[in-house]
Structure 1
Amino acid sequence: MRKLFTPALKALCIAAFIGSASAPLLTLPAPAQAAEVKISEARLQQRKDYAAARKALDQKQLSTYRQLLPKLQQYPLLPYLEYDEIARRLSSFPGKDVTAFLVKYPDSLLADRLTRAWLKTLAQHKRWQEYNDYYSTRFNSDAELACNALNARMQTGDKTALNEVGDLWTIGKSQHDACDPVFAQWNAAGMQTQRLIEVRHLKALTAGNRSLATFLVRQLNPQHQPLAKLLQDVDENPRLLLQKNRFTAQTPRMREILLYGLQKLARQDAKTALDLWVGYDAQQLFTDDERLETQYYLASRLMRQKYPEEAEKLLSSISSVTRADLAEWLIRDALRKQDWEKAYEWLARLPEESRATERWSYWQARLMEELKIREINGKTPADIYASVATTRTFYGFLSADKLGFEYGLVDRPMVVSQAIMDRVEQSPGVQRAREFYVVGDMLSANREWYHTLRRMTQEEMVAAGRIANVWGWHRHGIQAMIEAQHWDDLQVRFPIAYQEQVNQAASATSINPLLLYAIARQESSFAVDARSPVGATGLMQLMPATAKQTAQRSGIPFTPQDLLKPEKNIALGSRYLNQLLQQFNGNRILAAAAYNAGPSRVRQWLSKDAAKLPYDVWIETIPFQETRGYVQNVLSFSVIYAYRTGQKQPLVTRQEIDSAL
């Protein structure tokens, strides 16, 4: 079996983990390189044998398949052959073989997959007692398996299973066909009440499933149908709430209809919904929780539809605003208008836990300065900045700049024993992920990796992150640290990846390589094969059309497949970024925002008023939350990459500070 860490490499890794920020990139010593070549030859033969065994299995040449198996006993992907061989004959009920596989590979991805397939086979043939034996509550999220489990219990005499059917039935969509016999028994037992039908009817409309809602109306008794039909009418046309004479009954069901209709109308016309709310609320129909939820919903819709004054007035009527996002919206609206007093007023109304974050601590100090408030609760603005400046965050760096402090770049890798490193390195799931990664089956590699990671302790996750980082599987190293909630191992979280390609691109464009590292880290976490839902591809997440246009401008040959090549992706991404920097006079704040949201949007966001915005206010009030976080991360990551490469980089340059936006 190929060792992922040779002793020499282990020693080198440990030194790098605890060494200085400017430690060189890892390289294998000569003896380790020789060992790697030798082991790789053995592994290459195993891969050939594996391919031959799979071909024999596919062609049902079982004698050839069994002859090859002894050669693959140390090959990480052997379980995939064994799984396929058993899965092909589940209909013959190989219970002993299924059990043996589950015992041999407990908690593995394939054990989970085989159990699911085996349960479906048992249910299909109504082998309910065996189904009970193999079923686990970890499958409760699979409606088909969960319903079959309830049916199995009922069929084997456990009538208490009926008590668990309601939660599966009362959802806003149709369930799997396997649930039908369970629902029929539940209904026959008289447990499908009129109220549960009404609850599901409301959920179906909320989910936009009107056909199911109409079906459910027919299941109601005649005396319950009129209000259900009224709810459907309101769903189709929420302006019916203007006909107040139709909504006079003061019953819990009518309250549901009113609250549903007000929220539905608010999505279309928040101002009209607010006016109606005032009238209906005056009748004191609603509970305190219903009132608060509706007020918050109306306020959020008023904000989205550009009615900040109405939203502010509504929220001002609430004695204690517990929705931080709404108060934050009003703070940003006031900041955009440079209404410092209003911003400070709403900041004071933030929930305490939000007010104590680095973001709002910074803004408290900043607003105190603007309003010339010398101190509050015994703390001056400088005191507050100082408390934030120790953190490795965007606001920590801003605060450090305010005071002229060094940045708080905490780099404190967790101490992980060699025994844990070895155990994680040799764990079957990590070995399988590694082998899939090496042979280029990234989908299977990702599945094995994440399945294995979810079952690790914090220390094991950190070890896995370091192993992935050494492989060059940087995204998974970063993700492992996130899963472990260990934020202070900067070598793994901010790898110096693709250094040659980055330096070449930086030289060709005169872009600071720190900015390129920051963009690539933010965009893809250095995943070469990253693809976004909208089609952005590769390390720097370029859209194919953008990449093609950039290639034409730069005279670079291009095909869409080039975006998966690090050198091409970085070359094109850097040139596109360079174009944006040129458009925005070298301002990284605007260029980063444009890289994420597009240059036309950034031009729209730039203030057209005589009173331009300070750079920190402009960043804080970027309309898109994603772009706001993106810009903050890119600037912060540039600082961190300066540290990682033994340099210094200000969060913002003097030119960027002086450029009012």
Structure 2
Amino acid sequence: MWKKPKKWAWHLLAASVGLLTLSQLAHADSLDEQRSRYAQIKQAWDNRQMDVVDQLMPTLSTYPLYPYLQYRQITDDLMNQPALVVKNFIDANPTLPPARSLRSRFVNELARRSDWRGLLAFSPDKPTSTEAQCNYYYAKLSVGQSQEAWSGAKELWLTGKNQPGACEPLFSAWRDSGQQDPLAYLERIRLAMKAGNIGLVKSLAQQMPANYQSIASAVVALANDPNSVLTFARTTGATDFTRQMAAVAFASVARQDVENARLMIPSLVQAQQLNEDQTQELRDIVAWRLDG
């Protein structure tokens, strides 16, 4: 038979609910206070009032945004940070957006210090940013792992984009070692031409070995004026490289004057001894422009 609960039980239940509500309110107040202190710290940091930052920051260790303050603390003085401090922060905050870029930033800092072994200990795997990758492979070279360094240099080299200045020591060492095939220059020139990076085309052409200066000059002239593609095709020996360069310039001509490009095809085929697939590529460029 069901018995009516005693009055004291209802009082206990009501008290428990009341305590829970008060606890939640207290927690909410605490978060509000933490949010206010967080804003105070940011403002003090912006005003370089570091005594205020040092005083308030320890009170926010449980605040959800506390790692952002730690990140700022580390990066404000990155040039003096020990690798262990940076590594521990990254490991503790793997999903924090700024922490994901911090690894590459610190790789670059260790490169600035010329701490090559420390760099590889901190980042045993290839970092994400291009600048950090160049420093990573230069570190490989500095500790005697030359084959890995040259492999990385080639991967970073083969792009039509300008690469960061940090890559130049790696590229220079690769070139001076005799391991860089001149064909790598030609391939990067082709990529730069395709990307419309005329400045890089000219820069690379000027760096080519003396016995490549004839083709280098022709490439620069073509980069300056893609409409001279027929002259280029007729005055340079037919090679895979010259055919590729002619095709890139031809695409540029087609964008400007598709009918002129269409009329060029037979002459280009003859001058560069194009096979059927290469000829069809030119026809497809014209057809795509006409359809567009």
Distance, in Å, in 2 between the alignment partners of 1:96 and 1:110 is 18
Q: 1:143 maps to which residue?
A: 130
Which string of whole-angstrom CA distances, capped at 9 and with x for unpartnered residues, describes residues 290-347 of structure 1? 344333222121233xxxxxxxxxxxxxxxxxxxxxxxxxxxxxxxxxxxxxxxxxxx
Distance, in Å, in 2 between the alignment partners of 1:248 and 1:216 is 18
Which string of whole-angstrom CA distances, capped at 9 and with x for unpartnered residues, describes residues 582-613 of structure 1? xxxxxxxxxxxxxxxxxxxxxxxxxxxxxxxx
Q: 2:49 maps to which residue?
A: 59
Change (3 A) 1:241 1:117: closer
Distance, in Å, in 2 between the alignment partners of 1:294 and 1:144 is 37
Q: Normalising by the residue count of structure 1, what TM-score does the alignment of the two structures yield?
A: 0.37
Does the Cα contact within 8 Å between 1:242 and 1:276 map onto a contact in 2? yes
Q: Which amino acid aligns with 1:153?
A: K
Q: Which amino acid aligns with 2:115?
A: R
Distance, in Å, in 1 between the alignment partners of 2:208 and 2:92 is 52
Q: 1:92 maps to which residue?
A: 80
- Give the 5 Å matches for 1:497-512: none
Which string of whole-angstrom CA distances, capped at 9 and with x for unpartnered residues, describes residues 93-148 of structure 1? 333322321232124223223323322221111111111122265634x2210110
Q: 1:119 maps to which residue?
A: 107
Q: 2:274 maps to which residue?
A: 286
Q: 1:401 maps to which residue?
A: none
| Pairing partner for 2:140 from 148, 153, 160 | 153
1:210 and 2:190 matched = no
Q: 1:45 maps to which residue?
A: 33
Distance, in Å, in 2 between the alignment partners of 1:211 and 1:282 is 30
Distance, in Å, in 1 between the alignment partners of 2:224 and 2:168 is 29
Distance, in Å, in 1 between the alignment partners of 2:229 and 2:99 is 54
User: What is the CA-CA distance between 1:226 and the residue it aligns to?
Assistant: 2.3
Distance, in Å, in 2 between the alignment partners of 1:273 and 1:238 is 11
Which string of whole-angstrom CA distances, capped at 9 and with x for unpartnered residues, describes residues 506-553 of structure 1? xxxxxxxxxxxxxxxxxxxxxxxxxxxxxxxxxxxxxxxxxxxxxxxx
Does the Cα contact within 8 Å between 2:226 and 2:252 map onto a contact in 1? yes
Change (3 A) 1:244 1:158: closer
Distance, in Å, in 2 between the alignment partners of 1:245 and 1:93 is 57
SS at match of 1:139: coil
| Identical residues among aligned pairs (%) | 27
Distance, in Å, in 2 between the alignment partners of 1:284 and 1:65 is 70
Q: Normalising by the residue count of structure 2, what TM-score does the alignment of the two structures yield?
A: 0.78
Distance, in Å, in 2 between the alignment partners of 1:248 and 1:148 is 38
Q: Which amino acid aligns with 2:96?
A: S
Distance, in Å, in 2 between the alignment partners of 1:247 and 1:36 is 83
Q: Which amino acid aligns with 1:126?
A: S
Q: 1:163 maps to which residue?
A: 151
- Count of aligned pairs: 269
User: What is the CA-CA distance between 1:166 and the residue it aligns to?
Assistant: 1.5
1:198 and 2:196 matched = no
Does the Cα contact within 8 Å between 2:131 and 2:164 map onto a contact in 1? yes
- Give the 5 Å matches for 1:64-75: 64-75=52-63
Does the Cα contact within 8 Å between 2:233 and 2:271 map onto a contact in 1? no
Does the Cα contact within 8 Å between 2:83 and 2:122 map onto a contact in 1? no
Distance, in Å, in 2 between the alignment partners of 1:39 and 1:123 is 46
Q: Which amino acid aligns with 1:198?
A: L
Structure 1 unaligned blocks of 5 or more: 1-32, 305-661
The runs of 4+ residues in structure 1 deviating greater than 6 Å are 33-38
Q: Which amino acid aligns with 2:196?
A: G
- Give the 5 Å matches for 1:5-24: none
SS at match of 2:245: helix
SS at match of 2:114: coil
Which string of whole-angstrom CA distances, capped at 9 and with x for unpartnered residues, describes residues 538-571 of structure 1? xxxxxxxxxxxxxxxxxxxxxxxxxxxxxxxxxx
Change (3 A) 1:102 1:233: closer
Does the Cα contact within 8 Å between 2:234 and 2:271 map onto a contact in 1? no
Distance, in Å, in 2 between the alignment partners of 1:277 and 1:258 is 11
Change (3 A) 1:133 1:293: farther
Q: 2:164 maps to which residue?
A: 176
Structure 2 unaligned blocks of 5 or more: 1-20
SS at match of 1:224: helix
